[in-house]
Amino acid sequence: MKPAVDDARADLESKMNMLRGGVAEGESLESLKVIVDQLMSCPGPDDFLIAEACLLLAQSFAYLDQEPSNCVHYAKRALGVYQLQKNTPDYPRCLYLLGYGCFRLEDYTNAVTQFEQCNSALGHLSEIGCDNDYCHSLKPEVETFLGRTKMLLLKHSQAVVHYKNFLELKENLLEPDDPELGASYLQAAQAFRGLKDTSRALDAALKALDTYSKISGPASLKAAEVRSFLCGLYCEMGKYKDSLAEADAARPILQEAGDVEEVAYLDFRIAENLQQMGKQDESIRKLEEIIKSSELTSAIHFNALLSVARACARTKKSECVAEYCVKVYDALRNEEPSSDVALSLALLALVYEEQREFYQAIDILKQVKSMLEGIGISPEKVPAFAAADIDGKLGFLSLRLGKATEALPYLQYSLSKKKTFHARELLYLHFNLGAAYIQLQRFQEAPQELNIARNHLCGNATELDASKRAIMFHNLSRLYKACRRFVLLLAQSSIL
C-alpha cells in the first residue's frame, strides 16, 4: 500500500510543479482530481501538498464555473490545513472559494459567512503587512459578492455598504485612466439601481461616463453603453427629457456598432418616456416602428406587440387591445416552447387581466405552467417568473371569478414554495387566502390569514403609499365583517 501512496504523491508533486500558479482543465483536471481523491482516502492526508492541490482544484472548478459542489468540497479540505497558516494569502483564498461555491449553490447564508471571514482574514494580513497584490485585488471581489448575496437575502441597506466599499477599493487600486475603473463605476451603478438607490446609481453612472469619455472619447461605444444605462435610469427617476437626451446621444453609436438588442432597449425606453409625458400617440407610433423593423420571431417583436396592447389599454382603445393581443398570441403559439416564450405569454395574461378578461388570463397562465413543466424549468428558479408568481396569480384570478375551490390550492402552493417573500407579497397572499376561506365558509382559518395580512399592513416593510394602505385597510375591514356576518348566520341557522 505504501509504495502505491508514494507513487501517487510523486505523481501529485509532478503535476503541481506544472500547474502551480494556474488552473487545471480537461484531462489535467480529471487526473489531478483522481490522485487527490486517492491520497485523501489514505490515513494522514492533511499535509500541505494535498491542501495545495485541493485549493487548485477548488480554484479550477470556480474558474471554469463548473460543479460548485466540487468547489465547496475541495475548498473545505484545503481550509482544514490552511487555517493553521492564517498569515498567508492562501487562507483567505480558501474562504473566498468556499463562499463562491456556496453562492453558486444558492446557499446564501453560508456564502455570507465565508465571505465575511475572508474579509476579516484579508484585514488581518493587511495589519501584519503580509498581504500582496492578490489580496488587494481580492478585497473588491469579496465586497461585490457580499453585496450580491445580501441583495438576494433582501438585506438591501447592508448590500449598499458593500458596493460603496467596492468602489472605494477600486478607486484606490486603479488609475483614473484605467478602463477597468469605468467598468467598476458602471457595475456599481447597476447594483445601486437594483437596490433602488437611484441617487448613488446616478452618481456612479456619471463617473463611468466621465471616465470612458476621457479615455475613449464622448462618442465611443463604451460611453454610449453608459448613456443607454442612464436613459433607463432617468426614465425610472421620472426625468423623461434627460432620458430622451441620453437615448438620442447613444442610439446612432449603438446602431452603427450593430447592437440590435441595445438599440431596441433604447427604443422601448423612448416609447415609455413619451407615454409618461402624456404623448400616447407618439409612444404607440414608436412601438409600431419597432414592430416593423424587428424580426417576426424575435423577443423584441413580441415585446413590441405586447407594449402596443398595453398602451392601447391605457388609452381605453379596447378594439386595439383585442387586435394586438390576438397578434401576440398567434405569433407566440407557433414558437418552440422556451422560457422566453413562456415569459411573453405571462405578460400577455397580464394584459388580459388588466382588461378584466379573467378567463382568458387564467387559460394563458395555465399554458405557461404547462410549457415550463414540459421543458423542465421550475418557475421559482427564473427571477422573472418567481416575481410574477404564476400560482399566486392563478389563485387570485380564480378568486375574482368566485371559484374559491380552484383558487385555494394555487394560493397555498404559492405560499409554501417560496423561501423569501417581500412583506407586500405576503400581505396580498394572506389577504387572498383569507378571502378564499370565507368563500368556502372555513371560518376558523379565515381570521388567522386576515390577522397575518393585517400585521403586515400595520408594519412599514410593505412600502405601500398612503392611498394603497387605506384601500387595503378598507378591504380587510370588509372581509372581517363578511366573516363575522357568515358566522352569525350559521349560528342563527343552527339555533333554528
- Give the predicted TM-score (pTM) of the model: 0.78
Phi-psi region of 336 (alpha: psi -120 to 50; beta: other; left: phi over 0): beta
pLDDT score of 236: 94
- Give the single-character DSSP code of 421: -
Q: What is the DSSP string of 280-334?
A: HHHHHHHHHHHHHHS-TTSHHHHHHHHHHHHHHHHTT-HHHHHHHHHHHHHHHHT
pLDDT score of 165: 97
Q: Name the maximum alpha-carbon separation found in the chain.
A: 93
pLDDT score of 492: 46
- Give the single-character DSSP code of 257: T
pLDDT score of 380: 65
Element (H, E) at 218: none
Beta-strand ranges (E) seen in 56-111 are none
pLDDT score of 299: 81
Q: Which three cell numbers stand for residue 447?
A: 381570521
Q: Which CATH architecture has domain 1-131?
A: Alpha Horseshoe (1.25)
- The amino acid present at 374, given as its one-letter code, is G
The domain ranges of the chain are 1-131, 422-496
Per-residue pLDDT of the chain (496 residues), as tens digits, is 456 666 777 777 777 777 777 777 788 888 888 888 888 776 555 588 888 888 988 999 999 888 899 999 999 999 988 888 888 899 999 999 999 999 999 999 999 999 999 999 999 998 888 778 888 999 999 999 999 999 999 899 999 999 999 999 999 999 999 999 999 999 999 999 999 999 999 999 999 999 999 999 999 999 999 999 999 999 999 999 999 999 999 999 999 999 988 999 999 999 999 999 999 889 989 998 998 888 877 888 888 888 888 888 777 777 788 888 888 888 888 888 888 888 888 888 988 888 889 999 999 999 998 898 888 877 666 666 655 588 889 999 999 999 999 999 998 888 887 655 677 778 888 888 888 888 888 878 888 888 888 887 787 655 677 777 777 777 778 787 777 765 554 444 444 3
pLDDT score of 496: 36
